[in-house]
Amino acid sequence: MQRVKPAIFATVMAVAAVSLGGCATKDYVNQQVSAEDSKVQANQSQTDQHLSQLDQSTKDALDRATAAGKLAEGKFLYSMVLSDDSVKFPVDSSKLSPEAQQRLSDFADKLKSDNRNVYLEIQGHTDAKGPDSINTRLGEERAEAVRLFMNQHGVPLNRMSTISYGKADPVADNKTRADRAQNRRVVLIVMS
């Protein structure tokens, strides 16, 4: 009988060791899973918060764009384009021709006689020849030449702004000399 007892004892001990080892492994796995689950939940919370901020930023941008659109509604009055044959800017030049000066002088007189508080956006444009940086600079020089001329003829500087589109907004393709000449222009936008 004594032989059976040590065998039973050994069997019981082996089963206990295996079950304890299994429990320790199970507890270890549960701890690791719990730790990883906490990390995933924290990351998910941060991701949700970030997405919420992006959603709010997008909503804010849309609200600003909508407000700007409402503000601009009905503000455009009329425009004048310096780009017909007698007024076109020569290649790589911002010099106003005598014809351009006459048209601008008449335009300034019209603005003064209308006696309205208007605002001018003066847009400079170029043809597609040359690098972007030079065309952007040239468009700005053309717009600025018009702004200074208008100021000399009584239009306050604080009622005018300039912007250069360079070669970005052509009215004709740039394949022929005549098309490129049409793109060398200044547009005056009158807004109330």
Whether 88 and 68 map to the same domain: the answer is: no
Does an H or E element contain 144, and which? Answer: helix 132-152
Residue 47's domain comprises 1-73
Whether 144 and 82 map to the same domain: the answer is: yes
Name the domain count of the chain.
Answer: 2
Of 23, 58, 73, at which residue does a domain stop? 73
Closest by CA position to 150, among listed 123, 183, 120, 116: 120
3-class secondary structure, 86: coil
Closest by CA position to 107, among listed 95, 97, 94, 120: 120
Report d(CA 105, CA 117) in Å as an integer: 18
What is the predicted pLDDT for the residue at 117?
Answer: 80
Whether 127 and 169 map to the same domain: the answer is: yes
What is the predicted pLDDT for the residue at 87?
Answer: 65
Of 73, 95, 121, at which residue does a domain stop? 73
Whether 59 and 88 map to the same domain: the answer is: no
Helix, strand, coil shares, percent, the chain, to 5:
60, 15, 25
Whether 89 and 177 map to the same domain: the answer is: yes
Whether 160 and 90 map to the same domain: the answer is: yes
Whether 102 and 186 map to the same domain: the answer is: yes
What is the predicted pLDDT for the residue at 74?
Answer: 45
Whether 40 and 90 map to the same domain: the answer is: no
Whether 63 and 80 map to the same domain: the answer is: no
Average pLDDT along the chain, 192 residues, taken 10 residues at a time = 59 62 66 79 80 74 63 67 67 83 91 82 91 92 93 91 92 88 88 84
Whether 69 and 88 map to the same domain: the answer is: no
Q: Are the beta carbons of 119 and 160 closer than 8 angstroms?
A: yes
Whether 29 and 91 map to the same domain: the answer is: no
What is the predicted pLDDT for the residue at 150?
Answer: 93
Q: Are the beta carbons of 124 and 142 closer than 8 angstroms?
A: yes
CATH number of the structural domain spanning residue 134: 3.30.1330.60
Report d(CA 69, CA 121) in Å as an integer: 17
Whether 122 and 172 map to the same domain: the answer is: yes
Report d(CA 125, CA 19) in Å as an integer: 84
